[in-house]
Chains A and B, each alone.
Chain A
Amino acid sequence: MKRKWLSLALGAILSMSVSLAACSNSAPTQAPQAEPAKPAEQPAPSAAQKTGSDTLVVAITSDQGTLDPAVTMDNSAWKITYPTYERLVEYDGASTEAKPGLAREWSVSPDGLQWTFQLEEGHTFADGTPVTAEAVKFTFDRILKIKKGPSEVYSVIKEVKVESPTKVTFVLTNNFPPFLSTLAANYGGIVNPKVKEKEQNGDLGQGFLAGNTMGSGPYQLSEYKKGEYFKLTVNPHYKKQPAIKTVYFKITPDPTAQRLQLEQGEVDIAEGIPVEQLKSLKDSAQGIELIQKPSLFVDYVYINTSKGNPALQNPKVRQALSYAVDYEGLTDAVQEGYATQMRGPIPQGLWGHDDNAFQYKHDVEKAKALLAEAGVSNLTLDLLYSDNKPWWETEALSLQAFFAEIGVKVNLKKIAYATSREMIDKGEFDLCLGVWSPDFGDPYMFMNYWFDSKNFGLAGNRAFYKNDKVDSLIRRAATVNDQAERTKLYQEAQKIVIEEAPYIYLYQKDFLLPVSKNLKGFVYNPMLEGIYNVQDMSK
């Protein structure tokens, strides 16, 4: 009888498997993209799982959403797509200024409304199709038609005109100086117009590009095993063949597992190791190097200046909070000292930053005095944060302690990331932790997003801060072409927003990456946070 039961169970399992197989036959899941010479490059399995010298393995923490450059707004998906596409202009090396890419040269009309690009010949998509002006037009028309995240950035485009197969002109609705930098971002990646053949139900190829790439970059996505890895192989038509032939982005959610794999040489780069472990990792393990560079990634606190606790409408209270923070202690506790206190909203390393701007210092007496001046006592505030950044918990606890010293009681509210976004958008908080990193190298990314009263909520002005003077200064700065004048305007606006303190400007995080020592050629570009210049690397 026992046997009967077992056979019953086995039968059930088998029938389930069979039905699954039937389902999977009717709906093919694998990317049908051609994969050149797959068996040849398979090294013999060995006990020691070290990677070969033409293979790079990057441990990433989670699977990615869509890979379509016209849809994704997620930095962590960009690390996979960026090396598979080329853009009209590129960030070269560590520089945050746009350099020639697909475009050999470009010009802009004096009124800033016409940008004309001359394409360099000889760039080819992975399937052999040459990159033409038509492809450029197709790419941007597609973004605007799809109307997802990236279309917002390019909403300034009125029309893309093909002048000749190698010449293309963008007509803008208004002068927008940062336009050039936006073209170097991931969403500026030129897509092979042949994606039209992959269209399903009028999705403009979104379904296909979600799990495939069709660009002219040095690599192409040749295999995507959901939940396991992304495998990039070289684009055979790319002019300068890179030394690294195969790149794996291996999904390893657990930080401890990542660290062990890095120590054993199974991966070359591990992204998910918390900052607390990096120091000891560097000290203890041979063969691992810690790359440390200043970044443009900032961590700050939104103070709700209009919809939160009424006391926060008073700039003195906000200043008091800014004085209450022990910035050095905070960066030590939260980032192991791998961070620099911000000096105003524009981070160091980006033009427009003011070395002489005022910087708040830890001064409990002053903070108390300011609170007294404002006539505020027994203040209780809610501090909102989500599980999105692992260090936020420590940060929230530290801030709670700092504010307690000046007599402000803080209740911590930790909520799910998706919920926190909704609450930020609606302004349902007193204080909230946040991070910001620029998509393109222009102070516009900070000043106009953070302070323009048109951008209340998620759009960027998360302090719900309104100051007419600031509005007019930054709006002017966004329409002038002269960088010197823009710098002046932005710096004038900065003075006000530092003084009025709608945010607590905490710190600029260092970029930290543990990599295997035999990996050479990695260059960090602050505009390309988390993106690797794989084509320049070697082992």
Chain B
Amino acid sequence: MSTALAEASVRRRTVNPFWYKLKKNPLALLGAGILAVILLLSLAAPLLSSYDPTKINIIERFAPPSAKHWFGTDEVGRDIFTRILYGARLSLGVGAAVVLTAGCIGTVIGAISGYVGGRVDQLIMRVMDMVLAFPSLVLAMAVAATLGPNLLNAMLAIAIVKIPVYVRLARAETLAVREKLFVQAAVTFGIPGWRIIGTHILPNVVSPVIIQVSLDIGDAVLAVATLGFLGLGAQPPTPEWGAMISVGWKYFLDYWWYPAFPGLFLFLASCGFNLIGDGVRDILDPKAAR
């Protein structure tokens, strides 16, 4: 997939005036701006805050926002601002990782399924139907309960649920590309199937996949948070936004800052990804271009 991505970026630079178009898309720029700020804040966390994100301090529990604790403290006296910054690395990284994994696996499976066709294709697509028909929450809870509720397993569950979308997408594109002349030519030359998939099919399906990926990341960040909210995500004392909100919302009426700030950041990050996703779609999708 890395080669495919690289090729895609090469394609973008040569074929598409990507950056030029991006500049003309203010909402995407806004999204990128939001994410850049959050990312910078999280990378600079050790500089911005002198607190330890996991060190508890019971005396200062539920301190309201102040000069000392910008976003207040939580139920065991940890600085919420610090936890949000450190949590950003996790929540955003996890969201991106999940979608990229699902995207890569799904694309490859879809390309193979579409290229090979026949029974293999039928089988793969029915299995994907099964996964799609499966309530994702049940799957996530089952995975979490089986392997233990931790972040990795939550990621695994979300990734599994997301794979079929990419398989369908990649398969549909593959079916279209397979009939193209250059692929037919390659087949006649006796080039092996895996090379045709690698060099001809994948690069051509990458564009819709990238669109889907950029739209999905925001969703995945939310999904990770929702699993965290149901107690199936990161283990304490790890600062993860969803887990913070899930604990914090019980205190909503008395200590509003506890769920409010992680919630705000989750909202902003998800907005950022979605705005970028929309923008990328407008730019990359040749059909939508006017």
Contacts and interface: CB of A to CB of B under 8 A. Distances in A.
- Chains A and B share a contact (CB less than 8 Å): yes
Nearest to A414: B235
Interface stretch (B129-137, B166-174, B251-259): B251-259
Contacts of B237: 397, 400, 412
Interface stretch (B17-25, B31-39, B143-151, B209-217): B143-151
A396 B251 contact: no
A286 interface: no
Interface in A258-272: 259-260
Given A333-B61, A412-B235, A414-B236, A276 B254 contact: yes
Contacts of B253: 256, 259-260, 277, 280
Contact of B56 (A280, A387, A401): A401
Contact of A416 (B58, B76, B149, B252): B149
B203 interface: no
A289 B217 CA distance: 47
A280 B236 contact: no
B75 A394 contact: yes
A277 B254 contact: yes
Chain A residues touching B, majority SS? helix
Nearest to B255: A276
Given A394-B75, A397-B237, A332 B145 contact: no
Interface residues of B, number: 22
A394 B231 CA distance: 14
A412 B236 CA distance: 7
Given A401-B56, A412-B236, A416-B144, A276 B231 contact: no
B58 A332 contact: yes
A387 B231 contact: yes
A415 B56 contact: no
A274 B252 CA distance: 11
Contacts of B149: 414-416
Interface string B226-245: 00000100011100000000
Contacts of A396: 236
B247 interface: yes
B236 A255 contact: no
A227 interface: no
Interface in B50-109: 55-56, 58, 61-62, 75-76
Contacts of A36: none
Contacts of A329: 58
A158 interface: no
Interface string B160-188: 00000000000000000000000000000
B265 interface: no
A397 B235 contact: no
Contacts of A418: 145
A274 B56 contact: no
Contacts of A390: 250
Interface string A2-15: 00000000000000
A276 B58 contact: no
B76 A333 contact: yes
B209 to A, nearest CB: 29
A426 to B, nearest CB: 15
Q: Give 6 nearest A-B pairs by CB, closest first.
A: A333-B58, A280-B254, A387-B231, A416-B145, A401-B56, A397-B76
Given A393-B247, A401-B55, 19 more contacts: A255-B250, A256-B250, A259-B253, A276-B62, A276-B254, A277-B251, A277-B253, A333-B61, A333-B76, A394-B76, A398-B58, A400-B56, A401-B56, A414-B149, A414-B231, A415-B149, A416-B144, A416-B145, A418-B145
18 contacts: A256-B249, A260-B253, A276-B75, A277-B251, A277-B254, A333-B58, A387-B231, A390-B250, A397-B56, A397-B237, A400-B56, A401-B58, A412-B235, A412-B236, A413-B148, A416-B145, A416-B149, A419-B148
